[in-house]
Chains A and B, each alone.
Chain A
Amino acid sequence: MAITTKDGLLTAMADARKLAVYKPSTTLGFTGAYRSWWRLAGIPTQPAIPSTAVALDNTSLGALPFTDPAGGQTAYIGKVNLTQAANGIISIFDRLSHMGGLVANSTSPQTVNTAAITRPNANGENTQAFVEGYTNASAGSTTGTVSYTNSAGTNSRTGTFSFDFAGSATMFEIIPQDGDTGFKSVETLTFTGANASAGNFGVTIVRKVCDIYVGPDSDPQGPMDLCLPQVPAGACLFLASWRSASTSGNLSGSIDIVYG
């Protein structure tokens, strides 16, 4: 089933499930990149730095406590009501697959081999991939490439990224090869320039659920404002901020899930 009428939407809204969010103020990293809230303490709980590649779901530590829809129903984001001191865009992502343990002091290809994704299918259409920082190396920046399989199943595609070695908690977007619209998997990553320190970095594949403007007095956004984004069963929902200021201020509020 799905919501197909205004009445159906109203019925779903009346039975919304609220997901609380609270994250303490944090630095927002680098201009032109996302600040990942994945590893930040608060609500939801801080997860560990990943090592081997794993697929994630709504039971993963760090995910918003999203409950799957009952049989035959579909879940949607029905309302977002978040505030923080810094004005800016916050993205709600479904975190599909991640891994860590990549090092910055090497220009050799490093194995990534992301775990197979499953939501809403195994193809990776409309997914985005990021190099995500967990532990800083020394200061400096570089570029790099990944070898990946696209959403059509073609392997040995090449994605490119710009990267800052001090990018702990930052997500640097991997630009797919011409004509590609998603990442099914990422196999290897190669930094163009090496850093003196190893640091700890990983590759994360996500699908954006929605972007929302958030500020100190931002209004709630309802289902028609948000265009009723679907949340697939098992979704590992987490937040990331487009850098807008040096610090975010405390982020607090809630995300309502509606079912129908």
Chain B
Amino acid sequence: MAILNQNDLVEAMAGGRQGRPFRKDSITTVAGIMYSLWKATGRPQAGATPTTAAVCDLANAGGILHTDAGGGNTLYLGRASFSSTVAGTLVLYDRLIHMGGLDGTSVGTQTVSTPALPSGRCDPNGLDVQCFLEWYTATGASARTATINYTDQGGASGTTTASLHASVAASALIEVVPASGDSGFRDIDDLTLSASTGTAGNFGVTLARKLIEIPIGLANVGGDRSGFEMNLPIIPADACLWLVWMPSTTSSGIVTGQLDLIEG
């Protein structure tokens, strides 16, 4: 089933919902760089640092815990409220696949080998899938270039690069932009650094599909969005709801709010 008309929507809203509060403790940031709240403490608790590539799902610690829709229904984000003690933009993703253990000193080809995209959670060819390099432990002071080999949305091999700034910190995200003409990622094969950053650290590759972006223009003020304002995003079965922060200053602040999930 799905919400197909106004009566369905009213029934879904009135039929009870999952109110899922979240609160993530502040992490250190640099304005203009995206940060993952995967490892931030709070509710949900910090996620584990991944090793080999694996599909993420709603059982992963670090994602906002929730329950799939029952009885053939579809789950939607019916409302969201949010605030932070600093200004910034909160982004909610479905974290599809992640891996860790990449070495900031290795100059050889490092295997990534992401598994197949999880069925039903994104375009099957990866058209709407974004790729990030995600830091779990800081790498070194030397800025480097990473070359990434991947399979594009058409099933063809592709190669692109991502710039690693100096001293990339834990929780930082660097988006991997697909090569010209490509519009998504079906899988990531491997990664090679141009030279050592100076410190091994620990970073990995994360594939995700964006659900919503919520600007928080003023510290502590926050706001709310109705399902209409968010275009009633579908939360696919097994989704791993992952919070990402685009900071305006040197910390994420305490990020808090609630997702109200409805089904119909």
Contacts and interface: CB of A to CB of B under 8 A. Distances in A.
B41 A4 contact: no
A208 B61 contact: no
B13 to A, nearest CB: 4
Contact of A227 (B7, B26, B79): B79
Contacts of B83: 88-89, 242, 244
Contact of B10 (A5, A178, A243): A5
Contacts, number: 128
Give the interface size bracket for B toward A: 35 or more
B81 A89 contact: yes
A173 interface: yes
Interface stretch (A188-196, A210-218, A249-257): A210-218
Contacts of B222: 88-89, 211, 213, 242, 244
Interface residues of A, number: 45
B228 A3 contact: no
Contacts of B42: 175
A9 B254 CA distance: 37
A107 to B, nearest CB: 22
A176 B26 CA distance: 17
Given A126-B20, A229-B17, A211 B11 contact: no
Contact of B45 (A76, A175, A215): A175
A58 to B, nearest CB: 19
A242 B15 contact: no
Contacts of B220: 31, 88, 242-245
A225 B61 contact: no
A118 interface: no
Identify the interface centre among A8, A176, A211, A225: most chain B CB within 10 Å of its CB: A211
A108 B14 CA distance: 45
Interface string B1-23: 00000110111011111111101
Given A178-B45, A179-B61, A213-B222, A6 B10 contact: yes
A215 B83 CA distance: 14
Nearest to B61: A178
Nearest to A222: B226
A128 B45 contact: no
Interface in A49-88: 74, 76, 87-88
B226 A225 contact: yes
Given A208-B19, A226-B226, A242-B220, A32 B41 contact: no
26 contacts: A2-B11, A3-B10, A4-B7, A4-B14, A4-B15, A6-B7, A88-B222, A89-B257, A126-B19, A173-B23, A173-B43, A176-B43, A178-B44, A211-B222, A212-B81, A213-B81, A215-B221, A224-B13, A224-B228, A225-B224, A225-B228, A227-B17, A227-B227, A229-B260, A242-B256, A244-B83
Interface of B: 6-7, 9-11, 13-21, 23, 26, 41-45, 61, 65, 78-79, 81, 83, 85, 218-224, 226-228, 253-254, 256-258, 260, 262
